[in-house]
Amino acid sequence: MTITLNGEPFSVPGPLTITDLLVRLEIDPRRVAVERNIVVVKRAAYDTTRIVEGDEIEIVNFVGGG
C-alpha cells in the first residue's frame, strides 16, 4: 500500500501499525512524535494504531539544545 510519509509517497506492506512502521524505519519510538492524518498519536497507542492506504504520517524527531 502507499502512504504519505513526511510529505513523500512511501510504499509499505499492509496492514501495519505505527510500531511496525517505526521498526521498519529503524526509528526509536522514544525519540519521536507521530502524527496520523494531522492528529498526534499517543505513544501508548502506537501498537494498536493501524496505518491504512492513503494515510498521511509525519514523524518528528525531538532535538535537544540550549
Q: Does any domain span residue 57? A: yes
Q: Does any domain span residue 66? A: no
Domain count, the chain: 1
Residue 47 sits in a domain whose CATH number is 3.10.20.30
Q: Whole-angstrom distance between the N-terminal and C-terminal Cα of the chain?
A: 41
pLDDT digits (tens, 9 = 90+) for 10-25: 999 888 999 999 999 9
For 19, phi then psi, to 5°, come to -60, -45
pLDDT digits (tens, 9 = 90+) for 41-66: 999 999 999 999 999 999 999 777 66
Range of the domain at 50: 2-61
Give the three cell numbers for residue 3.
502512504
Half-sphere exposure of 3 (CA within 13 A, CB side): 22
The residue type found at 57 is I
